[in-house]
Chains A and B, each alone.
Chain A
Amino acid sequence: MSEFDEPVPAPGEIVSTPGADVLVPSTTIRATAIPPTTPAETELSGVVQFSERKQARRENWRLIRRRPAFIVGVFIVLVWTSCAMLGDKITPHDPFKPSSSTHLSPSAKYPFGTDSIGRDVLSRVMVGARDVIKVAPLGALLGVLFGVIIGMVMGYFGGWLDNVLSRIVEAFLSLPVVLVALLAITTLGSSTWVVIGVVSALFTPVVARTVRSAVLAERDLDYVTSAKLRGESSAFVMFKEILPNVSGPIIVELTVRVGYAVFTVATLSFLGAGPQPPSPDWGVQVSDGFRVISASIWWTTFFPAAAIASLVIAVNLIADSVQSVLEAS
């Protein structure tokens, strides 16, 4: 009997699917930047093959790193993170100490000016990221975690369970975010953990819906049927079989949610549900300075607000880069 050995394409090589011929989608150009491997090389080194997934991940990582948007985003995030961590060690003035020089406009000594009780706005903006940088990612992470679990259950089981959960999720989504958050925080107190909990609870339904639709596309694939045929539990199928295949949208969701979380947390502290004065939190500062803005004292509001905006934009730049690279691969 004549035997044949079938090919192992080089890493990242396009395996044409039957019927599709070799119409290589143009997106693959972006997706992979592996130097071409000749078939001979591939045949010889099993190592290349073995580390293929790692290599794909490395390649994706390299593609992400090459994007200017990603570099700018990471740079801004790093600046705010180091400011928050180093705190008063690097601030030009004591961010908490009042002085007699109140409401000074930006100058060489006080580049961002001073506030109503004479504190340096620059120093306060620098340390003002402390809360946000902790609370936003944690809140987003927890929100994604719960969202994944709920979305997975909705998508996988479907039927009445999906119906019930979908209605609950929709009900949640129809409530005004800020109102719910304020209500929760005024009832439960404004500790950091409550804010994290509130942010995660706000995001869970949104994430659940995204995950649900990704799971819906997977659950009817034959590998799931095959798992059922060998008697796997639903939990195994959901989290060991399906989860790795929907990780792309989940990672994208996570990065996008961090950006929203920054915004939400800042909004909450602006409304007084969160850190309280004299905290230098950006939201608190904006809310402080907001009162005097009509007297043309713009800098106490502008700089912390710009800080919030820069962090949100930075996180979104990162999210965009991650998304476009992951979606292309």
Chain B
Amino acid sequence: MSAVSASRTTAALAVENLEVAYTVRGIDRAVLRGVSFSIAPGEAYGLVGESGCGKSTTAYAALRYLPRNGKIVRGRVLVGGDDVTGMNTSQLQRFRATEASMVYQDPAQAMNPSVKIGRQLIESFTLLGQSKPVAAKSALDALRRVRIADPVRVMDRYPFQLSGGMQQRVVIAMALACDPKLLVLDEPTTGLDATVEAEVLDLVRVLREESNAAVLLIAHNLGIIRSLCDRVGVMYAGRIVEEGPSHQVFDDPQHPYTVGLLRSLPRHGVRKTERALATIPGILPLIGTDLPTCVFVDRCPLADDLCRDEVPPAAPVGTEGLRFTRCHHPDRIHELVQAPPDVPIGILSSSGANPEVLELTHVSKTFRQRNVNIPALVDVNLQLAEGETLGIVGESGSGKSTLAKTILGIESADSGGAVSLDGHTVAPNTTGRSANDKRAMQMVFQNPDSALNRSWSVRRILMRSVEKLTGIKGDEANARVEALAAHLRLTPRHLDLKPRQLSGGLKQRVAIARAFAGDPRIVVCDEPTSALDVSVQAAILNLLADLQSEEKTSYVFITHDMGVVRYLADRIAVMYLGRIQEVGPTDDVFNGPNHPYTEALLSAIPSVDGEPTSRIRLEGEIPSPANPPSGCVFHPRCPRVIPGVCEVSEPPLREVAPGHAMRCHIPIEQLVELQRKPLTV
């Protein structure tokens, strides 16, 4: 694995002092402010940074694929020694067809939805000059290459008939059709589940070894970069502020921004009871801002006059010449790296001591579609104590969101089950619930853009919720809105803005403020930070934890991020196919022994710390809930399946330790034994 920067002529990709601007309202606004890096053949290079820092622009510029209003102002891009910036249209076309490929975030959008997979794949080979029969054979080979089971049948399917992971494999197969020198992956796994993500990353890793393509990987997930890339460039406001071998950069960051990014992640099993997460104060400079300074100066705790006056040069780190940092004060980085003050966010007593707020007993939810019953929730029993956070994890399609909706009454539970609030059973449907019951349960949604009415001002959004939920009107309500906003650290200025004028983090604060408008007992949070950058995520998680310790609110916290759930949750429930497979205190769930499904989920997370994890690969996909497997629903994918037992009967939810229960046939002693040694499948 070569970590040495290749020279210009031999590099698969060499970006030299690239400056890109977007023309917005007639003015050129700088987005990339002199980006330089190179990738050797066969090397994988990662770009990380917050959204808006220019990662994707760099990737698109590398293929000369900028949007219409974007242009390369200065600098060069060389792919395999050829200057991409100077190519004319036909050269560019040939270059894109034969030299470089790109894989996008959303595989569904990268394929033509009305053309069968086979035809689309064959087309990418006929474009290379192959005859139809040869191309058909190549297409099949390409599918085999990306490890698609039963490629012949897949050729005959439409994109929508494939799962997200399969789609992304097909897109990767198309991207590899021309055997490119450069493969650009732009957030290739962002829309996928952790287990599928792990599979796709494995695939990319294997393919890298098979071909000699250089990989440029754009990701906001530092763990992915670490697990896949030889070297990493940390981008901020259109400059690479730090570069070096991934493990060195992540283990020993040498730029204040990298330090900030890494510290805002919930890592090393930190819990809310131990300390608040670090955030990065301040904001990313707007595009087009003139920055003859250190780009990070406004948010840097080390900034002084030198940083404000001069662009820091790339200062080498270490003696091997593999790393640099664009910081004037690399000698003072250690001041930042020191652990932040361990200020716990409120001490919450253990769940047993607090009164129970919510109880689900035998809650099931069956959807009916075209005369087929689809059980989305099957006999869910859960309790939630006051001030407690219950984390719900599981792959998409596991019933997490249906559970949330059923608790809130957006979907009515099947008869026979009951949702109880403070000891009384509430109506299954929101409309049937009393004003007090509605007030007691509110929700924070995943995407604040969709959750806030874009034509309402923040004040109106909050006002309406205060009035409707508390019955307070007029000036009093307004006073409450202002108090609420202040509590969520929104300024009065924000109240008169429309959601689209706010950044993602601020929008999510408004959404949280709305949920808290009527002093709820329970707030259901559906992936509230998955659309946010890590530093903003940290601030939102801190805020949620603060609010909880002050208001004694209980959270049902749905997430796919194991780090987040470990930080925030007191107890965790793991769902699969509408059933709770394991539930227990957070520490127990993370320390094991686990249900094999939990075990697989936990092992799928790419860690930024690069801890050696023995991976358990889950074969196949979540089965359709309309036609669940016999016996234990997880048995077809379970790496520890006991033949003759698991497919016969469904195991009960058995308590294995106080408060820790799981649904598995394997005796707990045996599970402890099995999970002590890493499993390799």
Contact = CB atoms under 8 A, between A and B. Distances in A.
A226 to B, nearest CB: 6
B67 A225 contact: no
A4 B282 contact: yes
Nearest to B493: A46
B369 interface: no
A136 interface: no
B353 interface: no
Contacts of A231: 430-431, 433, 435, 438, 468
A24 B539 CA distance: 27
B214 to A, nearest CB: 21
Interface stretch (B449-457, B584-592, B630-638, B639-647): B449-457
Given A2-B278, A28-B69, A241-B453, 19 more contacts: A1-B343, A5-B281, A8-B506, A9-B501, A11-B501, A17-B449, A21-B51, A21-B53, A21-B54, A22-B31, A23-B60, A24-B24, A26-B67, A26-B68, A28-B24, A34-B25, A39-B289, A229-B408, A241-B456
A36 B31 contact: no
A3 B281 contact: yes
A230 B217 CA distance: 43
Given A26-B68, A226-B443, A226-B451, A3 B430 contact: no
Interface residues on A, range: 35 or more
Interface stretch (A49-57, A118-126, A196-204, A206-214): A49-57
B27 interface: yes
A52 B503 contact: no
27 contacts: A1-B276, A5-B281, A7-B284, A8-B503, A15-B501, A17-B51, A18-B51, A18-B532, A19-B531, A23-B70, A28-B25, A29-B23, A33-B25, A36-B288, A49-B493, A49-B496, A49-B501, A52-B497, A221-B450, A223-B451, A229-B408, A229-B430, A229-B443, A230-B465, A230-B469, A231-B430, A231-B431
Interface string A245-276: 10100000000000000000000000000000
A223 B494 contact: no
Interface in B593-644: none
Contact of B503 (A6, A20, A23): A6
A128 to B, nearest CB: 41
A296 interface: no
Given A4-B281, A225-B445, A226-B451, A21 B468 contact: no
B365 interface: no
B571 to A, nearest CB: 24
Interface string B277-293: 01111111011110000
Contacts of A182: none
Contacts of A9: 286, 501, 503
B514 interface: yes
B105 to A, nearest CB: 6
A52 B498 contact: yes
A164 interface: no
B190 interface: yes
Given A22-B57, A231-B431, A16 B51 contact: yes
A291 B508 CA distance: 70
Contacts of A22: 22, 31, 52, 54, 56-57, 287
A223 B450 contact: yes
- The prevalent SS among residues of B at the interface is loop
Contact of B25 (A36, A49, A52): A36
Contact of A222 (B25, B282, B445, B455): B445
Given A4-B281, A26-B69, A225-B443, A21 B25 contact: no
Contacts of A58: none
Across chains A and B, which 10 residue pairs bring their CB atoms closest together, nearest first?
Answer: A244-B455, A21-B56, A222-B451, A26-B68, A26-B69, A7-B283, A222-B445, A4-B281, A16-B52, A223-B453
Chain A CB within 10 Å — which of B220, B431, B438, B450 has the most? B450
* Interface residue range, chain B: 35 or more
B187 interface: yes
Contact of B531 (A10, A16, A18, A226): A18
Where chain A touches its partner, the secondary structure class is loop
Nearest to B465: A230
A25 interface: yes
A14 interface: yes
Contact of A8 (B23, B443, B446, B501): B501
A21 B55 contact: yes
Among the interface residues B278, B438, B496, B514, which one has the most CB atoms of the partner chain A within 10 A? B496
B502 A6 contact: yes
Contact of A24 (B22, B447, B452): B22
Contacts of B280: 2, 4
A24 B69 contact: yes
B442 interface: yes
Interface string B117-159: 0000000000000000000000000000000000000000000
B325 interface: no
Interface of A: 1-26, 28-29, 32-34, 36, 39, 46, 49-50, 52-53, 221-223, 225-226, 228-232, 241, 244-245, 247
Contacts of B190: 19
Interface in B390-440: 408, 410, 430-431, 433, 435, 438
Contacts of A1: 276, 279, 343, 542
B661 interface: no
B533 interface: yes
A231 B408 CA distance: 12
A33 B27 CA distance: 11
A65 B340 CA distance: 57
Contacts of A223: 450-453
Contacts of B31: 22
B496 A50 contact: yes
Contacts of B287: 14, 22, 24
B167 interface: no
A38 B449 CA distance: 25
Nearest to A11: B501
A7 B503 contact: yes
A50 B493 CA distance: 8
A249 B77 CA distance: 43
B678 interface: no
Contacts of B497: 8, 49, 52
Contacts of B493: 8, 46, 49
A226 B517 CA distance: 12
A156 B588 CA distance: 45
A17 B220 CA distance: 13
Contacts of A34: 25
A8 B25 contact: no
A130 to B, nearest CB: 38
B503 A15 contact: yes
B485 to A, nearest CB: 14
Contacts of A52: 497-498, 501
Contacts of A26: 67-69
Interface in B483-533: 489, 493-494, 496-498, 500-506, 514, 518, 531-533
Contacts of B505: 6
Contacts of A241: 453, 456
Nearest to B340: A2
B535 interface: yes
Interface in B63-79: 67-70
B527 to A, nearest CB: 12
A231 B410 CA distance: 11
Given A15-B501, A23-B67, A222 B286 contact: no
A222 B401 CA distance: 13
Contacts of A18: 51, 220, 504, 531-533
A23 B501 contact: no
Interface string B20-64: 001111110001000000000000000000011111110010000
A4 B279 contact: yes
Contacts of B55: 21
B536 interface: yes
Contact of A7 (B23, B69, B278, B286): B286
